[in-house]
Structure 1
């Protein structure tokens, strides 16, 4: 049977949308009237305005509004002994400033002035991703880079996942940027059907629609949010293909990453990021001839760990939300018959990037980095070496 190009496209979109229809309704799935203002003349006004906006528009998931607000609001950390430089940190799609709760605390202890921004469409309700365009994310990163650059002698840009795309593109525009810190950079999605999301966004609202029970990030993904991420990946791939990036760059990647094409990001690092002082921390079992790539095995059966995930690299084993016995456990759909992952004792659960589909053990997504302290020491040594 021969399919026309049109039929293949419709078939692909149908695959992309499989499972997207849901009976889940509520205010989380109804967008705010507009996006918040984000181009304030100073960072303190931005923080204050953002917190007020969040109070008015966030759909709170618990009775503890202060904890939720602290997790998703932008913030600044000022060091007791400044080294003169600053770091701007940008979170990923569906995430929030909570992504940097451990990394930011470590960086400020090293003397960096650290600012963590909130991308428009985040922190309030999942439907607000229907309101964003790529230029909103690009503008907020550009604007707050300029504000921080006015306060310090040099700025580093850090990005997690989609945030890595945004800061890398900005770094290509501004040679004065000191360098890049990239955590699970989403240069290319793992699922090739993501390329259809811009078209699909004209026909359907949700890529996935789930119960919202994680106060640090969205569980659901609006199709426009998926499309906007994909456009950021297209933009950064264009930049990366244009010429080499020679400023110092520090990268962390999981070999088993379930969200992004880790091999593409690794190869891009070796071929495009040319500074000899660069470092890539690779969480998996493969080893590579590039001496700048350092491998950390995630085959850790004694710790009930199979692999690192997209989200696990940035969190400490002591993070109260995402540690082994933390407040939130991301259970896989498939579990051994009669076993409840959500209520199982932490020492009974195995952690990995994804489930096998036919589970022999209780399985959950890996959400912390067992090498976190060592990795932060490596990051700090990298920054100190390239500070001047």
Structure 2
């Protein structure tokens, strides 16, 4: 019987072997990646070229993966025919007009699969939705050693330029490193029909203040990896090379050189407790953007944390929204994580009863790692030192209990930025 992506993620017994051998850590081809990003290439051709790249390099590309997400269903798939490649490739949901679009940019170690719920929500509101693939992703973690910051920047430039040509109005949503890349591009080359920017868990500064060392460590022979995990997650890399950390740090360093256009409405959402990104640095970045804005009332922060702590570091009267959580898991979550905001609790893979668990906080202790993967009632929250001290293992939160409220506030923002918006 053919093994599926779901069989892999639930095969606890093989985790130590898979982790040690790096069975999913390396691509089919260990050489530089050919990246399509010619600005004249129609977006449908770009999608086809990137899917071909995934098929050629990802050893699990053709593995059955019967997760019928809203986007997969909208694209015409059925559960029986879905493969890993179908779910992690960039995609487009098209309306029958060229009026309004949203471009979604994923983060480091991630893939467009992270947008399979949000994209459908936006599509149902009348937007065409596009995603891109940052080079080095959706193939194997080893491929992050073969790309440069310019490769990422060129791909973002292609997608923004192409979308600006193809639609009358559009907005950009960037997640984590995708947000950093979006900011850097828009700060220098904002198309006139770009109407808004949304930043989700934006990468402004790393939580670890030694990130600048990554580019030097990456040059040390045979010292390539920060983390070596089992890579059971078909949609996100769990292993992490030093070169990727260096690229992300360089992408964040770019932000100190730029500010956003004064007229551009801005929506941000992030957690006060974030072990990937410095949330205090995010607040400082938002204050800097607000100081040059000609319309500061169009800047909004959706904040998972103590509102008083945020308002103390933001300009007076900054629009701050705190989550309104009504899902039954609200009281089961310690705090929001860097990776959870974009996924609903109902997600069959990352959700409340989803098949995947993020347990990387215990990589150095395999018994605890395995206990996290199998515990009947793990704690849910960010992988802080305090949270991992509890007797029960901590599962890093991969979903958002307040997802419905988050998407409602995001949609209100996007609708307000688009002129003559008509609900379909």
Give the TM-score band, short-chain normalised: 0.7 to 0.9
Superposed CA offset, 1:124-183 (max 9, x none): 011000011111000011011111111111221111000000001111122322221110
Could you state the TM-score of these two structures normalised by the residue count of structure 2?
0.79
3-state SS of the aligned residue for 1:325?
Answer: coil
How far 1:297 moved relative to its partner?
Answer: 7.6
Moved over 4 A (4+): 334-339
* Distance of aligned partners of 1:61 and 1:51 in 2 relative to their CA distance in 1, 3 Å threshold: closer
* Distance of aligned partners of 1:26 and 1:97 in 2 relative to their CA distance in 1, 3 Å threshold: same
Structure 1 residue aligned with 2:25: 28
Instruction: Report the more deviating stretch, 170-179 or 364-373.
Output: 170-179
Structure 1 residue aligned with 2:183: 168
Could you state the TM-score of these two structures normalised by the residue count of structure 1?
0.86
3-state SS of the aligned residue for 1:216?
Answer: coil
How far 1:28 moved relative to its partner?
Answer: 2.2
In structure 1, how many angstroms separate the alpha carbons of the residues matched to 2:398 and 2:370? 20
Question: Unpaired runs of 5+ in structure 2?
Answer: 1-18, 66-81, 420-424
The size of the alignment, in residue pairs, is 362
Structure 1 residue aligned with 2:248: 229
8 Å contact kept, 2:329–2:401:
no
3-state SS of the aligned residue for 2:101?
Answer: strand
Is 2:237 the partner of 1:218? yes
8 Å contact kept, 1:257–1:353:
yes
Match 2:112 to one of 97, 103, 108: 97
8 Å contact kept, 1:335–1:360:
no
In structure 2, how many angstroms separate the alpha carbons of the residues matched to 1:200 and 1:337? 28
8 Å contact kept, 1:86–1:112:
yes
In structure 1, how many angstroms separate the alpha carbons of the residues matched to 2:99 and 2:405? 25
8 Å contact kept, 1:284–1:297:
no
* Distance of aligned partners of 1:338 and 1:112 in 2 relative to their CA distance in 1, 3 Å threshold: closer
Match 2:84 to one of 56, 64, 68: 68
Is 2:137 the partner of 1:155? no
8 Å contact kept, 2:340–2:398:
yes
How far 1:220 moved relative to its partner?
Answer: 0.8
How far 1:342 moved relative to its partner?
Answer: 1.9
In structure 2, how many angstroms separate the alpha carbons of the residues matched to 1:26 and 1:341? 21
8 Å contact kept, 1:83–1:112:
no
* Distance of aligned partners of 1:301 and 1:72 in 2 relative to their CA distance in 1, 3 Å threshold: closer
In structure 1, how many angstroms separate the alpha carbons of the residues matched to 2:370 and 2:231? 23
How far 1:247 moved relative to its partner?
Answer: 0.6
Is 2:226 the partner of 1:207? yes
In structure 2, how many angstroms separate the alpha carbons of the residues matched to 1:212 and 1:27? 6
8 Å contact kept, 1:24–1:209:
no
Match 1:284 to one of 305, 310, 313: 305
Is 2:310 the partner of 1:295? no
In structure 2, how many angstroms separate the alpha carbons of the residues matched to 1:132 and 1:364? 31
Instruction: Report the more deviating stretch, 34-43 or 125-134.
Output: 34-43
3-state SS of the aligned residue for 1:328?
Answer: coil
3-state SS of the aligned residue for 1:187?
Answer: coil
How far 1:114 moved relative to its partner?
Answer: 0.9
CA-based RMSD: 2.6
3-state SS of the aligned residue for 1:330?
Answer: coil
3-state SS of the aligned residue for 2:349?
Answer: coil
* Distance of aligned partners of 1:278 and 1:213 in 2 relative to their CA distance in 1, 3 Å threshold: same
Structure 1 residue aligned with 2:129: 114
Instruction: Report the more deviating stretch, 167-176 or 281-290.
Output: 281-290
Match 2:383 to one of 354, 368, 375: 354
Superposed CA offset, 1:108-137 (max 9, x none): 111111110011000001100001111100
